[in-house]
Structure 1
């Protein structure tokens, strides 16, 4: 028989200890898994996914580097519905209607000539119109805005082939390989064009 309240309290605590030390297991809900659905667009419409990445906002602690991220912020025009819709219309004018002169006007109307996607498509349109000088100006402008804009390296490489500059086109092919490897579409199409005999009419 327990003779003191103190011993009774100790016994109660001892008997309760296993409950505290070994609580019942809690069943955790399984995570939702890797839901996928990639972003809309991609491919040529939004330009290369290998272009200069957007700035990593959480890493902007160092105020000295903020000016360096200005250009990618400026280039993220697809967040603006008016810009996106205007670009989509120009894209359709080029690739669905092959009306390159009208597309150039549509692209200039976006007031974003220094956006690499815009400059690249202006260069492409001039190339399709046979104005190789203007085309070159715009390809250079696109690469100045984004030196890793892989679609521009591709289109400009095709420009080089049509001008007979196969060595330069080979350099463009090498740059594409450095940016996205040899399995990306931009590499494959330029490599295929380089394999064709000189003077072959390119459909790209």
Structure 2
């Protein structure tokens, strides 16, 4: 009987360690499964980011799963970074503005007002005409607008308001208005003063050439035509207008 009890106590003491070992093995197995699942999840995330980390999902072991997860995360981050870089590059385009043709000139505003007024191009309204009502440059261009509207004497009256009437443009426009009033010699005098101040001003050379055509001085007109060609070519407006004047006079 004592032997039986001793055996039972020994059996009980042996069973407890065995039970503990069994629980430990089961715990390790569960941990291994959890790690493997975690590794697969990591690999899947990598596949979403960069497509390269999906190998982690296929790994069955804890180590393989963890490696796959790391690879996936790295791949996703890399791809994301690359995409961001590409976006930055696309947004940084450079706009190249084409240079304006140096021969081209901005057309003047040819708006005119009632007699005794001048046009304020900046504020788009007519003002009473008097000295210094507008800067010289604005008055000069308004005088040209009047001349192109066949209001030649009014153009001269506006030019008389200038603080400095002896600029190439003011002299050119005065010559134009004077010539249109039939005073060709006087107009040529203003043109020549303008040319002396700015030899590279093609418009005044066109008007000077046209004045020479009126006087029948075709050789002098052709000299101006040649100078205009050097300044802006044979396809610019000033060359074409003077060439037409010579052609109509049967001198070209």
Q: Shorter-chain TM-score: what band? A: 0.5 to 0.7
1:127 paired to 2:179: yes
Deviation string 1:71-118 (CA, Å, 9 cap, x unpaired) is: xxxxxxxxxx6223312321221112x121121121121122221111
- Per the alignment, residue 130 of structure 2 pairs with none
The change in CA–CA distance for 1:36 and 1:127 in structure 2 (over 3 A counts) is: same
Helix, strand or coil at the partner of 1:178: helix
Provide the residue aligned with 2:93 in structure 1. 31
Q: Identify the match of residue 108 of structure 2 among 33, 41, 45.
A: 45
After superposition, the Cα gap between the structure-2 partners of 1:44 and 1:162, relative to the gap in structure 1 and judged at 3 Å, is farther
Q: Per-residue CA shift, 1:142-176, capped at 9, x if unaligned? A: 00110111000000000000000011111110000
Matches of 1:152 and 1:43, distance apart in 2 = 16
Q: Is 1:166–1:194's contact at 8 Å kept on the other side of the alignment?
A: yes
**Are residues 1:194 and 2:249 paired?**
no
Q: Which runs of 5+ in 1 are unaligned?
A: 1-22, 47-80, 200-204
Shift of 1:37: 10
TM-score by length of structure 1 reads 0.60
1:41-65: CA deviation from partner (whole Å, max 9, x where unpaired)? 935639xxxxxxxxxxxxxxxxxxx
Unpaired segments ≥5 residues, structure 2:
1-80, 110-133
Structure 2 equivalent of residue 183 of structure 1: 235
Q: Name the structure 2 match of 1:54.
A: none
2:212 match: 160
Whether the 8 Å contact between 1:164 and 1:198 is mirrored in structure 2 is no
Alignment of 1:12-91 (within 5 A): 27-28=88-89, 29-34=91-96, 42-43=105-106, 45=108, 82-91=135-144
- Give the 4+ runs in structure 1 shifted more than 6 A: none
- If the length of structure 2 is used for normalisation, what is the TM-score? 0.50
Distance 1:174 1:44, change over 3 A: farther
8 Å contact from structure 2 (residues 172, 204) kept in 1: yes
Which of 134, 148, 164 lines up with 1:112 in the alignment? 164
CA contact (8 A) 1:107 1:113 kept: yes
The aligned residue for residue 143 of structure 1 is 195
Structure 1 counterpart SS, 2:199: coil
Q: Once superposed, what is the RMSD of the aligned Cα atoms? A: 2.8
Larger radius of gyration: 2
Higher relative contact order (CA 8 A, sep 6+): 1
CA distance in 1: counterparts of 2:231 and 2:99, whole angstroms: 25
Tell me which protein shows more helix as a share of its residues.
Answer: 2
Distance, in Å, in 2 between the alignment partners of 1:44 and 1:101 is 22
